[in-house]
Each structure stands twice: as C-alpha cells, then as structure tokens.
Amino acid sequence: MRVALIAPSDRCCVEVARRMATSVTVELLTTCCREGPPWRDRRDPGVWRAGALTQRRFRSDYPTVLELEERLGKLVRAGDTSLDLQKRWLQERGPYSSALLEHIEGRRGDFDAFVFFSLESATTVFGLPLVGAGAVLAPAVEDWAAARSELLRTTLDRASGFVFSCEEERRRVRGLGGAGRPDALVQGASAEPYLDVARRSGGGTPRARMEEEG
C-alpha cells in the first residue's frame, strides 16, 4: 500500500509518517514552513528518503500577512460571505503552495490513499478536492466558528474518512456534516488509526493488495 501524507509542515505528522513507513510505503508532502499561522518558509525545499519514507518539501507562494488574514477571518466567522472570499481567506491563511498542489494532482494515481492534516490549512482545502475518493482527514480544528463556513464544510463533505484527536472533535465534526464515514480516534503518534481508516474508506487498490500479499 502506498500512502501520501499532506500537511502544512512536517511538525504536524513526521512521527506518524515514520511509524507508518514500517509497514507501508509513505510519501510525506509539506511546505517549507515550520509552524504557524502566520506561515513563512523557514526550510529548504527538496526530497529526502529513508527506507520506505520519502519526504518532499515545497516552497509556499507567499508568507501569511497576519493582519489581512485576521480581517478576512472575521468576515468568514460572521457568516454570509461569498465562496470567493472564503477561498481568499484560506489562501491568505496558508500555507498556499501551487507547486505542492501541482504535485498532488500529477501524482494522485501513484497512491492508494491520502491523509490530510488540519482542516483550516490551505494544503487541505485546496489539495483534498484534487484526489477524489480515498482522502482521509485529521481535522485538528482550531476555530469552530470558521469551521461552519461553506468552504470548510464542503471540505469535510469531500473526505472519505476521519481520524479524530478526541471524542469532542468527533461529535462536533459529525454535527457539521462529517457523519456516516469511517473514523477512528488516535492516541499520540500511532499510525494504525490512519491506516485503518484509509483501508475502510476505500484506500488500498487491487495493485496495492497484490503487492502486500507478495
């Protein structure tokens, strides 16, 4: 089985990626940002390999302008905003990397499952729709008022499965429209819940299963 993990920075999931790579082939796709928001490139782009794990970092198109992100975010949380404005907010919230999105779109046929980290990240909002079925989301919601926006609820609807950090997050995401799909709770950096949900939500093609069976 081949799994791609997509996150705004490797701090979100590098340990999960390492543990997952002990049983499946993993590609970790992130931007060059370290943490945020505000997001700003602080690392070099490139490719690193260690056994079954490949990590790729991509430059973001621009750093977050925090004042603009905050102004747009207030409008989104107040409701009654256009979808274009919501997209502009998520682009500004970032990290937005056209190179990362192009890589996802061009390589989506190479993977059996995709796991996205952070609902409110541009890497999720603009990346998840590119892969179609088999997208697992670890939402890690920080702003529940913003999560009620049309764009973020649509992103939840497109996910094929979820990995939650706690029961409260599971309950609230289900209330926003994320019910009726495979999910699991994760403890620490355990990789098994992500693989379990990926398999139950359609991840694992006949090709991948044949490889696993030898």
Nearest CA to 32 out of 53, 60, 52 is that of: 60
Domain ranges of the chain: 2-212
Q: What is the mean pLDDT of residues 35-62?
A: 92
Question: pLDDT-derived band of residue 208, with 50, 70 and 90 as boundaries?
Answer: very low
**How do residues 128-182 score in pLDDT, each as one tens digit?**
999 988 899 999 998 898 888 999 999 999 999 999 999 999 999 999 987 889 9
Provide the pLDDT for residue 94. Answer: 85
Provide the pLDDT for residue 50. Answer: 92
Residue 44, SS3 per DSSP: coil
Give the residue with greater pLDDT, 189 vs 130: 130
**Per-residue pLDDT at 26 exceeds 80:** yes
**How do residues 72-118 score in pLDDT, each as one tens digit?**
888 888 887 899 999 999 998 889 999 999 999 999 899 999 999 99
- CATH number for the domain whose boundaries are 2-212: 3.40.50.11930
Question: pLDDT-derived band of residue 211, with 50, 70 and 90 as boundaries?
Answer: very low
Q: Is 201 exposed, middle or buried (0-12, 13-18, 19+ CB in 10 A)?
A: buried
Provide the pLDDT for residue 69. Answer: 85
Q: What is the mean pLDDT of residues 114-127?
A: 95
Average pLDDT of the chain? Answer: 88
* DSSP class per residue in 156-186: HHH-SEEEESSHHHHHHHIIIII-SS-EEE-
Tokens of 138: 């670890």
Buried b (16+ CB within 10 A) or exposed e, 19-52: bbbeebbbbbbbbbbeebbbbbbeeeeeeeeeeb
Among the residue ranges 81-85, 181-185, 208-212, the one predicted with the least confidence is 208-212
Tokens of 147: 């999560």
**Per-residue pLDDT at 195 exceeds 50:** yes
Tokens of 58: 């991509």
Q: Is 133 exposed, middle or buried (0-12, 13-18, 19+ CB in 10 A)?
A: exposed
Provide the pLDDT for residue 210. Answer: 33
End-to-end CA distance of the chain: 12
Cβ contact 95:121 at 8 Å: yes
Nearest CA to 171 out of 146, 191, 147, 197 is that of: 147
Nearest CA to 120 out of 100, 80, 91 is that of: 91
Cα 207 to Cα 112: distance, rounded to the nearest angstrom: 9
